[in-house]
Amino acid sequence: MDTTKMKTVIVGGGFAGINLAQQLLKSSQNIHVTLVDRNNYNFFPPLLYQVATGFLDVSNISYPYRRLFRNQPNFTFQMGELLEIRPDQNTIELSTGELHYDNLIIATGTTSNYFGMQNIEKYSLPMKTIDDAIALKNTLLSRLEIASRTQDKAERKRLTTIVVAGGGPTGVEVAGMLSELRQNIFKKDYPELADLSFDIYLVDGMATLLTPMSEKSQAYTLKSLTNMGVQVKLNKRVTDFQGERVSFADGEVIETRNLIWAAGVTSQRFKGLPVESYGRGNRLLVDAFNKVQGEGNIYAIGDNCLQTTDPAFTGGHPQVAQVAIQQGQNLAKNLVATMNGGNQKPFTYHDKGSMAIIGRNKAVTDLPKPAIHMNGFIAWLMWLFVHLISLVNFRNKLKTAYNWVAAYLSKDQHLRMIVKSRTLQEEEADHWR
Ligand SMILES: Cc1cc2nc3c(=O)[nH]c(=O)nc-3n(C[C@H](O)[C@H](O)[C@H](O)COP(=O)(O)OP(=O)(O)OC[C@H]3O[C@@H](n4cnc5c(N)ncnc54)[C@H](O)[C@@H]3O)c2cc1C
């Protein structure tokens, strides 16, 4: 590594980290970028639920960092988990060694939030990472296999009932997709289970689904999911799940082995930064230029930062991909400008709108200025187009487009192989004991 170059270490290669790295490498020859991530690949969270339900393959929505940045002389990748930051020494401690930085950027996103409920963390199925999506698919399919050979009626029902917790876009999308699987695939693939209803519940502690979206989007989503046979329960707070039944604050209980957890996220705290650096949801408090409060050369971008200086978002930005992308690009320009003696530009978010898909031909879109609401087929086409063009490279766009067309025409997909993890093998063995 050329020691005369500005050593910029980015921890986290999601939307924020990747956009920052790409923009920096494009804009200056005097910066060396080291990207650190706990995985060796970038992935696209908005389509995780399609991997979890067997509609897309992992390779459609992920890409290795070393391939993405191949032939970039000013780039290094290090796989590792950030453990500690030492601001006084300008170093960070990773699970795989120590790194020195001139500028450090933390872009580690969020993790699932279980709100301190340990049973839920232990027994539910989260939807946050590729590992989660693979585990979810394997577990649900394995449980259908177990149900198909189980004589115990109550257990068959528990194995084939699914509760999705969290009425945000992820929960809505998973519940909608599961409902389509039930209609088009489960009953055909599992004739032994034809007498079962495969109940799907979508539950949320709030009074509406898709809380940040328009009332029209919320109402359309509720009606569509209900028509698709999803049992939506609002104002319902999950309090416990020990693997066999979900308990709610109002005393209701749903018998199930499958609780999909999409009910909240939180950021991570890292050893070495004072407790005052963190705000709501463990998000790092940053100034208008994404510099971490009280630090000289440490920045935070994307989901893991809380910025209240943007006049239109004084409560902080929503934790969505566009904020992360735009913050990454703005910070790159500011770091290069500082090196060249130019002025920095405070971050302001350009809101391009929000959307959620519910099922085949059904989606909702809210555009901000002028405020326009769309639903149904047009919104669905928009959702497909926006998500397709947002994938990281041409190969992934092509493979995903092909899979979508095939799935749309055939109402089926063939990615339902159960790849057994050690945990799954243990669970199956338990059922035979
Ligand atoms: C299922 C799902 C669906 C979503 N759908 C949408 C959608 O439709 N539209 C939308 O706008 N947003 C959506 N989001 C939110 C969107 O994905 C986030 O806002 C966005 O990913 C934030 O980007 P980021 O770069 O801040 O973090 P991330 O994309 O989460 O990237 C963080 C990176 O940091 C790495 N990392 C984390 N901790 C460490 C550590 N300690 N050490 C090293 N590396 C670490 C991770 O491996 C990851 O690569 C969705 C999120 C999920 C989970």
Residues 366-392 have pLDDT tens digits of 999 889 999 999 999 999 999 999 998
Question: For residue 62, which of 399, 324, 421, 419 has the smallest C-alpha distance?
Answer: 399
27 three-state secondary structure? helix
181-213, pLDDT tens digit by residue? Answer: 999 999 899 999 999 999 999 999 999 999 989
Distance 148 CA to ligand 1 centre (A): 36
The C-alpha angle 246, 249, 254, rounded to 5 degrees, equals 25
Q: What does DSSP say about strands 6-11 and 103-106: parallel, antiparallel, or unpaired?
A: parallel
* Average pLDDT score over the chain: 95
- For residue 433, the model assigns a pLDDT of 58
- For residue 1, the model assigns a pLDDT of 65
Whether 298 contacts 106, CB under 8 Å: yes
Q: Confidence class of residue 420 from pLDDT cuts 50, 70 and 90?
A: confident
CA dist list (Å): 151 to 144, 156, 215, 401, 422: 13, 7, 45, 41, 25
Residue identified by tokens 């699932």 is 112
Residue identifier of the C-alpha nearest atom 33 of ligand 1: 12
CA dist list (Å): 11 to 16, 247, 262, 401: 10, 38, 25, 31
pTM of the model: 0.95
The H or E element containing residue 386 is helix 377-390
Rounded to whole angstroms, the Cα distance separating 187 from 313 reads: 47
Distance 45 CA to ligand 1 centre (A): 6
- For residue 367, the model assigns a pLDDT of 95
Residue ranges of alpha helices (H) inside 47-186 are: 48-52, 65-68, 118-123, 130-148, 153-160, 169-181
- For residue 421, the model assigns a pLDDT of 72
- For residue 160, the model assigns a pLDDT of 97
Contact residues of ligand 1, CB 6 A cut-off: 11-17, 36-39, 45-46, 48-49, 81-82, 107-109, 127-128, 169-170, 268, 302-303, 319-322, 324
**Mutation test residue for ligand 1: of 53, 108, 273, the one with most atoms within 8 Å of CB:** 108
Tell me the CB-side half-sphere exposure of residue 373, using CA atoms within 13 A: 11
